[in-house]
Amino acid sequence: MQGNRVLVTGGAGFIGSNLANALRTDNEVIVVDDGYLGTPENLADDVEFHERSVLAEDLPTDVDVVFHLAALSSYAMHEEDPTLGARVNVEGFVNVVDQARQDGCDTVVYASTSSIYGSRTEPSPEDMAVTVNTGYEASKLARERYAEYFSNHYGLTTAGMRFFSVYQGYGGAEEHKGEYANVIAQFADDIASGESPVLYGDGTQTRDFTHVDDVVRALELAADHELDGVYNVGTGEAHSFNELVERLTEILGRDVEPEYVENPIPESVYVHDTCADPSKLRDATGWEPETSFEEGLREVCAAYESA
């Protein structure tokens, strides 16, 4: 992307700040973030920052492209207060997109989730049936339906990006999130500190771990190609938590065993396995993941080896 005025909501958070900092070289970037999961310290100095809620009026939506990443982004947050989850994730999305529409913006790229596929070891295509078992999933599926409304009724291009397990190390923009940080960052920090990473169940659950740099490129390409509809953002490969811990201990050279605990999330709603079918995004944009699982883990661990 070049020469655009761009709004990134949730732009001081993990994925948002990576995106905002990547776009700032060739674009005018504005960030809106309420500071709940993000911090302006994640942003470069030349990114315009507004500490605002996505529920606010008069947002800075006079832009060419909106990247809507703001969300309450975990199961626990929604179960604690389902009404607040719906307000932020659904009403906040509608509020931002409608203000942008009224200001003349017609390109929206937004965060959805792969959790709606449920547990699958086979790659999940976008056209498969999806289900909702949690408030978080309900809010993201509602967001997709409102995006469809804005597309069909107003002619906006609205690309929903179904993220799989996005990661980066604490050396990126995750450390302040603590228990809500991605598991690779959490496990690496535990192991580097000589502490046992805590795994739910027996550690056989699998995730399609996707490096944040690849996700940022996917978001940019979705805007450049004015994609409409929903698209998976994942590698098409899955790795277990046990494998993850084994590789991190090898790379970091630590002799640490994981601690296995009972899963606090009900088995009926816990997503045990995820794997993307990224072919739709690849066919539409040429996107391919460029950071392998091994390369990504070594990058995460490098911060501790050089410390």
Model confidence over 286-295: pLDDT tens digits? 999 999 999 9
Does the active-site annotation cover 270? no
Cα separation of 126 and 279, whole Å?
10
Give percent of the chain above pLDDT 90.
87
What pLDDT does 292 receive?
97
**Pairing label, strands 206-207, 239-240:** antiparallel
Q: What is the extent of the structural domain holding 271?
A: 169-207+237-277+285-305
**Pairing label, strands 157-163, 239-240:** unpaired
Are 39 and 121 in a shared domain?
yes
DSSP string, 41-101: GGS-TTSEEEE--TT-SS-S--SSEEEE-----SHHHHHH-HHHHHIIIIIHHHHHHHHHH
Run of H or E including 152? helix 135-154
Sequence-distant (6+) residues with CB within 8 A of 29 are: 6, 8, 11, 20, 23, 46, 47, 48
pLDDT band, very low/low/confident/very high, at 265 (cuts 50, 70, 90): confident
pLDDT band, very low/low/confident/very high, at 170 (cuts 50, 70, 90): confident
Are 66 and 183 in a shared domain?
no
Are 273 and 245 in a shared domain?
yes
74: pLDDT strictly greater than 90: no
* Average model confidence (pLDDT) across the chain: 94
161: pLDDT strictly greater than 80: yes
* CATH number of the structural domain spanning residue 293: 3.90.25.10
Model confidence over 19-37: pLDDT tens digits? 999 999 999 999 999 998 8
- Contact between residue 111 and residue 15 where contact means Cβ atoms under 8 Å apart: yes
205: pLDDT strictly greater than 90: yes
Give how many domains the chain has, as a whole number: 2
Model confidence over 133-147: pLDDT tens digits? 999 999 999 999 999
Are 38 and 49 in a shared domain?
yes
Cα separation of 109 and 163, whole Å?
12
176: pLDDT strictly greater than 70: no
Quote the pTM value.
0.95
Model confidence over 75-120: pLDDT tens digits? 888 888 999 999 999 999 999 999 999 999 999 999 999 999 999 9
Are 223 and 252 in a shared domain?
no
- Contact between residue 69 and residue 15 where contact means Cβ atoms under 8 Å apart: yes
**Catalytic residue chosen out of the listed positions 75, 117, 136, 231:** 136
